[in-house]
């Protein structure tokens, strides 16, 4: 299951991670977010131990969303060594997320 990333644990789970991190910024009311949710969940299982896969609910964690300029959701950020190195704005096929994450492994 994808990790629940919050304003409180963002630093620990994302910035201090020794593995690449894929973060899905989403909201309950967002249709396209619901479309990619199963992809994010599948990838959290498939990449367990190789990468950190998490989700940030933008309604409940506005500090992180504002810090990274999240204006449209879903937005998926790819972080390596504490730096955002890639992103996907909007829903996309699973392979698009896999390709971006694989490039960081």
Taking the C-alpha atoms of 38, 62, 11 and 1 in order, what is their torsion angle to the nearest 10 degrees? -20
What confidence score (pLDDT) does residue 78 get? 98
User: Domain tally for the chain?
Assistant: 1
Residue 26 to residue 70: CA distance in whole angstroms: 10
Q: Which CATH number belongs to the domain containing residue 10 in this structure?
A: 3.40.30.10
The pLDDT tens digits along the chain (105 residues) read 999 999 999 999 999 999 999 999 999 999 999 999 999 999 999 999 999 999 999 999 999 999 999 999 999 999 999 999 999 999 999 999 999 999 999
What confidence score (pLDDT) does residue 82 get? 95
What confidence score (pLDDT) does residue 63 get? 97
Query: Who's near 96: CB < 8 A, 6+ residues apart?
Result: 88
What confidence score (pLDDT) does residue 75 get? 98
Range of the domain at 23: 3-103
**Residues known to be catalytic:** 30, 33
DSSP H or E stretch at residue 78: strand 75-80
């Amino acid at each position: 299951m994808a990790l629940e990333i919050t304003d409180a644990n963002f630093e620990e789970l994302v910035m201090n991670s020794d593995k690449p991190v894929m973060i899905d910024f989403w909201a309950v009311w967002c249709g396209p977010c619901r479309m990619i949710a199963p992809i994010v969940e599948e990838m959290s299982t498939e990449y367990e131990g190789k990468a950190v896969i998490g989700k940030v609910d933008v309604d409940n964690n506005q500090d992180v969303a504002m810090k990274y300029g999240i204006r449209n959701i879903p937005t998926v950020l790819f972080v390596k060594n504490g730096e955002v190195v890639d992103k996907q704005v909007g829903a996309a096929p699973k392979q698009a997320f896999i390709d971006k994450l694989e490039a960081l492994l």
